[in-house]
Amino acid sequence: MSKIVLYWHPMSSATPIACALTELGLPHERVKIDIRSGEQHRPDYLALNPNGKVPTLTVDGAPMFEALAIQLWLGETYGIERGLWPEAGTPERLQAMSWCTWAYVTYGTVLVRLQLATQGEEALRSEALAQAAHAGLDRLLGLLDERLARQPWMLGADYSLADLLVGSVLGYSAYLGAPVAAHAHVSDWLGRVQARPAMQIDA
């Protein structure tokens, strides 16, 4: 098996990667990057991740960055054989790719607007923009709620890494004030995702 190293910081966007590695049962090494002291800007780390952020994953020394890319690679490389990711050429694979990208890109873009409007620099804060972002997130959560009203998990009857990935984004959004609790099916599903043993990573 390939040697996998996760460069991460607790309670960051790297945490869902650590959860996914645990869910998959993959042996790996974790290297903590102290983002508070600026270790992510060291030349040796920038050689792995030019963004100067976590997470970074190396596979036999070859680096990957961007959380979504890492999650999708883990699913395709290790998730299929473990029953946690749909096989290529199936309708479920198309849905997995779509909803995971939706979480990081479509939902995530609006979430950043909410974060900037409520917690960004003083010049960027705006009650009007916060309300607009809140309404946008509410609409998107409504789409997900409709899906989860028809099935217990993102891809149907069984839990998958798509639930972990989408749930990680939505869990963070609830912390920032997104109206997750106003959508009963989403709220119930998120509670079940967060209760999984692999999600109990905080250090």
Q: Which CATH number is 48's domain given?
A: 3.40.30.10
For every residue of 168-185, DSSP letters joined together read HHHHHHHHHT--GGGSHH
Tens of pLDDT, residue by residue over 154-188, are 999 999 999 999 999 999 999 999 999 999 999 99
Q: Verify that 131 and 56 share a domain, yes or no.
A: no
Q: Tell which of 33, 54, 79 closes a domain.
A: 79
**Which single residue is written with the structure tokens 């217990």?**
152
Q: Count structural domains, the chain.
A: 2
* H or E element, residue 65: strand 62-65
Tens of pLDDT, residue by residue over 12-69, are 899 999 999 999 999 999 999 999 999 999 999 999 999 999 999 999 999 999 999 9
Q: pTM of the full predicted structure?
A: 0.93
Q: What SS3 state is found at 123?
A: helix
Q: What SS3 state is found at 34?
A: coil
Q: Verify that 193 and 95 share a domain, yes or no.
A: yes
| Cα separation, 178 vs 166, whole angstroms | 14
Q: Are 1 and 59 in contact (CB under 8 A)?
A: no
